[in-house]
Amino acid sequence: MAIAPVNIASSTASNWLKEAQDSLAAAETPGGMMGALQDARSGSASIQTFLAKSQNTMYALSQIAQNSQTSSGALAAQMANAVAQKRQTELMARAAKLNPQPVNFTPPAGLDPVIYFGDGTTVDTSSNIMTLSSGKQIDTLTGLEYHDPKSIITMANGAYLDTKNNILTTADGTRIDSVTGLKITA
């Protein structure tokens, strides 16, 4: 009697050797309707052998269904895991793109609080006031002469008195030395 070819490398079987042995045994004694028909031809048909072969066929079909169900579940789990890993990778890449890690950041050096020049002039970088060697102060933002607001007395007619330098400036811009009363021309 010839042995039927057997597919040993079954992707659905968890134990391929057992499946191969079952296939060989099933090939030798066919069951179910085909086995009953074969037995009827040979004259050895009985209800007992028909039922036994039908039961073996039912068992084989249930194994196929169970293996198929198990494989479907495993495939679904693998696919879900692959999707979850891909999503996690995408989220990590997006987070890395939106929030890059800082690389050796060195803040720029600010100005010194006071800058000294060779002729005695200084610039106070926090208040933006340049003091000349003569004592005159200039606002570095506007370029105008700076007067400390604490030393200025403002008059009703628009004139003001600089008490630090003793200079009265009238509303028309005339400057007068408040100690001597002389008009300042320079």
> Which of 68, 98, 128 finishes a domain?
98
Instruction: Note the pTM of the prediction, 2 decimals.
Output: 0.34
Is residue 6 included in any domain, yes or no? no
**What range defines the domain where residue 154 resides?**
114-184
The one-letter code for the residue type at 127 is S
Residues 132 and 93 in one domain: no
In Å, how far are 80, 98, 111 from 86, measured between CA atoms?
A: 10, 18, 50
Residues 22 and 93 in one domain: yes
- Residue 130: its pLDDT value, please? 94
Beta bridge partners of 131: 122, 137
Q: Are 124 and 113 in contact (CB under 8 A)?
A: yes
Q: Are strands 183-184 and 129-131 parallel, antiparallel or unpaired?
A: unpaired
pLDDT of 173 higher than 80: yes
pLDDT, tens digit, for every residue of 108-151? 888 889 999 999 999 999 999 999 998 888 999 988 888 888 88
Is residue 1 included in any domain, yes or no? no
Higher-pLDDT residue of 38, 95: 95
Residues 140 and 179 in one domain: yes
Question: Per the structure, how many domains does the chain have?
Answer: 2
Mean pLDDT of 91-116: 84
Residues 93 and 150 in one domain: no
Q: Which contiguous run of DSSP H or E holds residue 36? A: helix 32-42
Is residue 11 included in any domain, yes or no? no
Residues 177 and 123 in one domain: yes
In Å, how far are 66, 104, 130, 163, 171 from 155, measured between CA atoms?
A: 104, 57, 27, 13, 9
Is residue 106 included in any domain, yes or no? no
Interior/surface letters 93-120, b for 16+ CB within 10 angstroms, e for the rest: eeeeeeeeeeeeeeeeeeeeeeeeeeee
Is residue 105 included in any domain, yes or no? no
pLDDT of 106 higher than 70: yes
> Which of 71, 98, 125 finishes a domain?
98
Is residue 131 included in any domain, yes or no? yes
